[in-house]
Structure 1
């Protein structure tokens, strides 16, 4: 069925019809079936190839909705994990920052969205899971650096990264506000 609607078949059919018209005018003579088939084949060969449809990737709003859902899943996971007070406090700050950034209408830049997705889907779960696993081993074989320090450093680095996104959004809104003020002032002078 796909071939019947293809460019190759349609072009070949148009050329084949031209061959039938030639046979009715008498220009093809007794070889008209060969000419019709040859014209169909030539048309099918010169037709442009089919283009596959462009992939439909989710837009920023759909990605943000999926990320919010993943953030809810991450929160449920983190609620079950026992963390030391310092790391729990740092994680709470990070959670608040993520929650603010994931509000609809704020993050639309693909790079910022990618950084948040990586943090929510990979970095935070991996940091916490590694802490939980390492903490167990450090009880068995003491003497190494406490895993709490690494977790706090990892959460601090993630907080700084999310803070840079928030600062960029704040700068963008400040520029937008200044531009609107200039526009209104210029409009008032006209």
Structure 2
């Protein structure tokens, strides 16, 4: 099985080189060498001339342009983010939090869920890459790290009491994330407000024309 895969990979590399700019330029140089051979210019050293012109052509050929990475579709990205959000909520349902932290976390999850709600809201979100990135970071990194850090610190606090209560830090972290989520929703609301104002201006201008 390994031999088969390696052979397929080598064949693909050979085929890729045959189709490359370097090989095409080298072939052009080789053809020029053959012309010199036929006309008698190359003389008895024609093999060296052909090989040399092929190598020269391959060397001066421009490098192949690397393929650009595929750009993820906004709809697919939001679909994957919704799935991660669902898993996050399942995980959080098993975590024991203080009433204050739990209430703040519930409010934050409601804002995240509202922005991910399929429909026209998601359409507005998909048109704002910065908000999508911030929302993705909150769901995939910030919230899990906040809760995991709280759980770990609380475990150590039970062994060695003292210091700042871990729930206090968790509440501050969740408050900061909640404020960030409110700024996200405000940005999306402003986008819709600008769209409405633009349409109003268009209709009023059409009436006056």
TM-score (normalizing by structure 2): 0.81
Q: Structure 2: where are the runs of 5+ without partners?
A: 1-13
Partner Cα distance (2:72, 2:38) in 1: 54
Query: Which residue matches 2:21?
Result: 7
What's 2:85 paired with?
71
Distance 1:33 1:139 in 2: 83
The equivalent position to 1:173 in structure 2, one of 192, 199, 207, is 192
- Please say if 1:117 is aligned against 2:136: yes
- SS of 2:70's equivalent in the other structure is coil
Root-mean-square deviation (CA, aligned residues, Å) is: 2.0
- Cα distance in 1 for partners of 2:78, 2:166 equals 32
Cα separation, 1, equivalents of 2:54 and 2:132: 52
Number of the residue aligned with 2:151:
132
Residues 2-151 of structure 1 aligned to structure 2 (within 5 Å): 2-103=16-117, 104-108=122-126, 109-151=128-170
Distance 2:105 2:125 in 1: 21
User: Which position in structure 1 is the counterpart of 2:208?
Assistant: 189
- What SS class does the counterpart of residue 107 from structure 1 fall into? helix
Matched residues in 1 for 2:95 and 2:74: separation? 31
Query: What's the secondary structure of 2:145's corresponding residue?
Result: helix
Deviation at 1:167, TM superposition (A): 0.3
Q: Give the TM-score taking structure 1 as reference length.
A: 0.88
Distance 1:27 1:133 in 2: 82
Instruction: State how many pairs are aligned.
Output: 190
Aligned to 1:162: 181
CA deviations on 1:20-56 (whole Å, 9 max, x unpaired) are 2333344444443333222222211211122221222
